[in-house]
Structure 1
Amino acid sequence: MPRGPEDVVGSSKSGSGQDKHRGGGLKRFVTLVTIGLAVAAVVKELRLPEEERTWNGKVAAVVPYDFRFPTMERAKERLWDPEAEHVIGPRVFGVGWAVNMGKVVAMVRDRVGV
């Protein structure tokens, strides 16, 4: 007989407390990798002479980073540019990639014929 909400059939809670940690390992791993890449990017920039620092580039020869102050022009270019060549590009600020939703919408419109 159910004693409380945690014992109701179909409840997402369990007595062991493991359900709230499912997938937490992957999320923690991705977070740690992202932090590690950000630290590596900052160290890469700080190793350069001050006049050569751009605060944007690639770390590990693959992952883009950009620590410059974000601008509306750059945000539009990276997040809403239907004419862009790629759907995925560098983030406006930080380490990693962002989805160019303008390109996605343009591709859907081309497919649907709108």
Structure 2
Amino acid sequence: MSGKQGGREHAAHKGGKRKGGLGALIRLVTIGLVIAAVTKELQKDPDERTWHGTVGFVPYEFRVPTVERFKERVWDPEGEHLVSPHVFGVGWTLNLGRVVALVRERFADEEPDVA
């Protein structure tokens, strides 16, 4: 084989990055979920639109974000869930407050007693 790349291999790369792949699939699914969520809301009577809910089992939230909702979903150390619906958008977000609380609990359990 010569030093030149084959046509198919060359077409799959641009600027050293591979086109497609998992990232492209995730973007495509996300766009599809956004379209489905907006369509679901627009099919409702204007007085019944809430701009939050689920498409299948995937949550969506298109209301203006608030500090209270951010704290509830992103920083809730007392919460029981590690993931919660995004503050804005489609899908889930990590409850960083709960993660920090669990890590602190784990390290507190491992500390030796000093007598």
Q: Does the pair score TM above 0.5?
A: yes
Measure, in 2, the Cα distance between the counterparts of 1:51 and 1:20.
47
Measure, in 2, the Cα distance between the counterparts of 1:79 and 1:50.
30
Residue aligning to 1:40: 36
Residue aligning to 2:65: 70
Measure, in 2, the Cα distance between the counterparts of 1:88 and 1:95.
13
Residue aligning to 1:110: 105
Residue aligning to 1:82: 77
Measure, in 2, the Cα distance between the counterparts of 1:52 and 1:110.
43
Determine helix, strand or coil for the equivalent of 2:40: helix
Q: TM-score, normalised by structure 1?
A: 0.80
Measure, in 2, the Cα distance between the counterparts of 1:95 and 1:111.
31
Unaligned 5+ segments in structure 2 are 1-9, 110-115
Q: Identity, % of aligned pairs?
A: 57
Measure, in 2, the Cα distance between the counterparts of 1:89 and 1:72.
15
Measure, in 1, the Cα distance between the counterparts of 2:78 and 2:47.
34
Determine helix, strand or coil for the equivalent of 2:81: coil
Moved over 6 A (4+): none
Determine helix, strand or coil for the equivalent of 2:26: helix
Determine helix, strand or coil for the equivalent of 1:65: strand
Measure, in 1, the Cα distance between the counterparts of 2:83 and 2:18.
30
Q: CA deviation at 1:25?
A: 1.6
Determine helix, strand or coil for the equivalent of 1:113: helix
Q: TM-score, normalised by structure 2?
A: 0.79
RMSD of aligned residue pairs (Cα, Å): 1.8
| Match for residue 86 of structure 2 among 78, 85, 91 | 91
